[in-house]
Amino acid sequence: MPTSATLLSVSAAAERLGVHVGTIRRWTDEGVLSEVRTPGGHRRIPAEAVERLRRERAGEARPGPVSAGLGPDGDPADEAWADHAVVHTRYEVRANGDAVWNRAFDGAERGHRRETGRQMVGLLLRHVAGQGDAEARSAEVRRLAWGYALDMKDRGLPLSEALRATLFFRDVLTESTAYHPRFEQKPPTDQIALMRRVNEFMNEVQMTIARAYETDDPAALPPADA
């Protein structure tokens, strides 16, 4: 049993991990972080659990190229496009630093959001390439979008701002299709198909975010056809 000296308040745990206090509460509810309750019913988080999660997240923050997820059979053109999309998105996010949805996260939290964005682009790359299990890929997309929506709700941002953020990313990713090394060589039908795949992906993200705002149960992640 952890002693009082090894237990952190929710706010202290949030500060160490660089996230909102609402995120800490959600992580304890979901079992991502363990917790104990004081006689008065207050949450306390074991410092060891916080440090372990901090190290895990720090490791996630230094990944290799997003295209590495395609493996040895990946198309180099798709890989180059995905890596460009990450750089282009990062530049546009910085250029839109005054957006309400962007200001909602501080420096440490933005690092976590960047990692989520990288994971999303990696999933988009596999979606465009048709690689991997489609159901598993869809489930991971919905999990990431659901977590993002709950973080936005924790900060008191309305659904309109959450969707404004996804519209921003949809625009950036759609623009990025023009930088695909083979885009100009593709016939118009293939160019349209590529953009349609991007839109299919973002449709699922936006629908998941909308559903997260509609529910009072943060654990009620819907199935793909909900």
Q: Judge whether 156 lies within some domain.
A: yes
**Segment among 90-94, 95-99, 158-162, 218-222 with least mean pLDDT:** 218-222
Count the Cβ atoms, other than its own, within 10 Å of residue 192. 11
Same domain membership, residue 117 and residue 196: yes
Among 89, 90, 86, 81, residue whose Cα is nearest residue 64: 86
Q: Is the same domain home to 166 and 181?
A: yes
Is the pLDDT reported for residue 75 higher than 80?
A: no
- Band the pLDDT of 61: cuts 50, 70, 90: very low
Q: Are residues 175 and 124 in the same domain?
A: yes
Q: For residue 99, what are the domain limits?
A: 65-214
Residue 184: how many other CB atoms lie within 10 Å: 8
pTM assigned to the model: 0.68
What CATH number should be reported for the domain holding residue 70?
1.10.490.10
What's the burial of 13, exposed, middle or buried (CB within 10 Å: 0-12/13-18/19+)?
A: buried
Q: 69 with 55, same domain? A: no
pLDDT at 66: 55
Q: How many domains does the chain have?
A: 2
Over residues 207-222, the mean pLDDT reads: 83
**Per the structure block, which two tokens stand in for 185?**
């060589």
39 and 77 housed in the same domain: no
- Check residue 159 and give its pLDDT: 95
Average pLDDT over residues 129-139: 86
pLDDT of residue 72: 53
Question: Is residue 75 located within the same domain as residue 54?
Answer: no
pLDDT score recorded for residue 64: 52
Q: How confident is the model at residue 209, as a pLDDT?
A: 94
Q: Cα–Cα distances in Å, from 133 out to 14, 51, 66, 120, 139?
A: 35, 33, 18, 16, 10
Residue 221 lies in a domain: no
Q: Identify the CATH number of the domain in which residue 50 sits.
A: 1.10.1660.10
